[in-house]
A and B are shown apart, each in its own frame.
Chain A
Amino acid sequence: MGLLSKKDAALIKDPLADNNPITIQVLGICSALAITAELEASIVMSISVLFVLGVGNVVISLMRNIIPSKIRIIVQLIVVATLVIIVDLVLKAFAYELSKTLSVFVGLIITNCIIMGRFEAFALGNGPWRSFLDGIGNALGYAVILIIVGFFRELLGSGTLLGIPVLGDPIEKTGLYAFGYENNGFMLLSPMALIVVGIIIWVQRTRNKDLVED
């Protein structure tokens, strides 16, 4: 990447694999379980977090020298909540349809521990530009896992992708269902998201032994 120095590029690249917020830092698990039953919801959530984490990291970074350390967590929480409410109100006024789709995610964004985690671990100690890159990088790392989990859960659980049937019709018994294939309803429940995330962690740590803790 010619635009970014090697150190800056690492801020974007590391969270995608070897320092992934979900599989390595184990943050943001709650929303990864809650909303990955469908691919579309995973994508919407990823975009929302990308925005909030990118902007939030910059805001916190700009304020880092004036935030009193005793109440920094509360300040971080207020910044996230304010950002999310501003976005929600503006969407409700100017893009009502879109806001309906997003409204269920609002609460989940505020409580996403990746956001608080990056504020605390990075934005409080780094400049705005690097914080922005870190926010985008971590949000993308989060997005990658969410989309992989959403892909498998929707495909195996409902036989659809983005709501479009890809394996045939389970009631009319066409396509794959004609051979006795059944949707696995268990994939739609949260425990399976945990198992899918677990499999990703397993694969990742088998390929890169450095990630294995003693």
Chain B
Amino acid sequence: MEKRTDKNSYTIIFAIAMVVVVGVILAGLFGWTKPMITVNEEIEKQQNILYAMGINNNDDTSANFVSTDEAPELFKKYIKKQLVVSSDGKFTENNQAYLIDVKKEQAKAKAGEARQLPLFVGEDEKGKKYYIAPIRGKGLWDAIWAYVAMDENMVVQGAYFDHKGETPGLGANIKQRFFMDDFIGEHLMSNGNFKGINVAKGNADPKNNDKTDNEVDAIAGATITGDGVSAMIRSDLKLYVPYFKTLKQ
């Protein structure tokens, strides 16, 4: 005799019931955790921006953010202005600029619309100014992004890289100190033109002593992720050049 669970009708009813049950569980859980996750993500952005300008709890080797409790307060203290820059260098102040979704803005630019470029102007205790820009690109598996702090000459003062799903131990290492710290002091400009920073294999300068060669040393086994980092620096930071030119005038 055919088993009850082998019948087509049973199979269909079971499938429908399972989808409904799983759907309700996941939707409920998502709705419940959503507000908490949003807050966590906002704090993380603040931590990232502060990290890039050197406000962090780094020890000798590992990268550590300021604590989540302190982040909103420190963000208010150190980030003096939040700007939305347009591609011709004009800007408006907007104290919610850190919530601008770079991914959506990139999609807008692709569709031919004007892209909003958030820029954060920070100032440390010594009065030194940092211009911090968020950038975004593609790694090997998924999105990669970064917050790059520059001075008014577009010399990198600090950077925080992150990724959604790069290979642990290889591409995922872009968020390790040994990679991020190499960017500090690197020039984005070369002879007055924007050149970016290339993540170079077979670099003759593994200790990264030469800061004006527009190159940092790549991570072994993470070629595509490294190329993604070079590409997003080239395409996204370039858009800020007109703004930096206005600073000189």
Give chain A's interface residues, CB within 8 Å of chain B: 34-38, 41, 44-45, 65-71, 74-75, 78, 82, 85-86, 89-90, 92-94, 96, 103-105, 107, 153-154, 157, 163, 171, 185, 188-189
* Bound form: Cα–Cα A71–B6 in Å: 10
* Bound form: Cα–Cα A104–B163 in Å: 9
Which residues of chain A come closer than 8 Å to B11, judged between CB atoms?
Answer: 68, 70-71
Size range of the chain B interface in the assembly: 20 to 34
Which residues of chain A come closer than 8 Å to B68, judged between CB atoms?
Answer: 96
- Given A78-B18, A103-B165, A105-B168, also A86-B29 (CB < 8 A): yes
Which residues of chain B come closer than 8 Å to A34, judged between CB atoms?
Answer: 167-168
Among B32-40, B105-113, B116-124, B190-198, which stretch is in contact with chain A?
Answer: B32-40
Check if B169 sits within 8 Å of A38, measured CB to CB: yes
Check if A35 sits within 8 Å of B168, measured CB to CB: yes
Check if B168 sits within 8 Å of A69, measured CB to CB: no
Which residues of chain A come closer than 8 Å to B172, judged between CB atoms?
Answer: 41, 104
* Bound form: Cα–Cα A157–B219 in Å: 12
Which residues of chain A come closer than 8 Å to B37, judged between CB atoms?
Answer: 89, 92-93, 96
Check if A89 sits within 8 Å of B61, measured CB to CB: no
* Bound form: Cα–Cα A70–B8 in Å: 9
B220 on the A face (CB < 8 A): yes
B25 on the A face (CB < 8 A): yes
Check if A188 sits within 8 Å of B22, measured CB to CB: no
Check if B220 sits within 8 Å of A188, measured CB to CB: yes
B221 on the A face (CB < 8 A): yes
* Bound form: Cα–Cα A204–B25 in Å: 44
Which residues of chain A come closer than 8 Å to B114, judged between CB atoms?
Answer: none
Query: Could you tell me the distance in whole angstroms from the C-beta of B187 to the nearest C-beta in chain A?
Result: 22
* Bound form: Cα–Cα A105–B141 in Å: 12
Check if A103 sits within 8 Å of B164, measured CB to CB: yes
Give chain B's interface residues, CB within 8 Å of chain A: 5-6, 10-11, 14-15, 18-19, 22, 25-26, 29-30, 33, 36-37, 40, 44, 61-62, 68, 163-170, 172, 206-207, 220-221
Check if A75 sits within 8 Å of B18, measured CB to CB: yes
Check if A67 sits within 8 Å of B14, measured CB to CB: yes
Interface SS majority for chain B: helix
The one of B14, B15, B33, B221 that contacts A90, using a Cβ cutoff of 8 Å: B33
30 A-B residue contacts at CB 8 Å? Answer: A35-B169, A36-B169, A37-B169, A38-B169, A45-B168, A65-B5, A66-B5, A68-B6, A68-B10, A68-B15, A69-B5, A70-B6, A70-B11, A82-B22, A82-B26, A85-B26, A89-B30, A90-B33, A92-B36, A92-B40, A93-B33, A94-B36, A103-B165, A104-B164, A104-B165, A104-B166, A104-B167, A104-B168, A163-B61, A189-B221
Query: Could you tell me the distance in whole angstroms from the C-beta of B142 to the nearest C-beta in chain A?
Result: 9
* Bound form: Cα–Cα A65–B4 in Å: 10
Which residues of chain B come closer than 8 Å to A67, judged between CB atoms?
Answer: 5, 14
Which residues of chain A come closer than 8 Å to B22, judged between CB atoms?
Answer: 78, 82
Which residues of chain B come closer than 8 Å to A153, judged between CB atoms?
Answer: 169
Which residues of chain A come closer than 8 Å to B6, judged between CB atoms?
Answer: 68-70
What residue in chain A is nearest B168 (Cβ atoms)?
Answer: A41
* Bound form: Cα–Cα A94–B163 in Å: 21
What residue in chain B is nearest A104 (Cβ atoms)?
Answer: B165
* Bound form: Cα–Cα A94–B10 in Å: 39
Query: Could you tell me the distance in whole angstroms from the C-beta of A118 to the nearest C-beta in chain B?
Result: 20
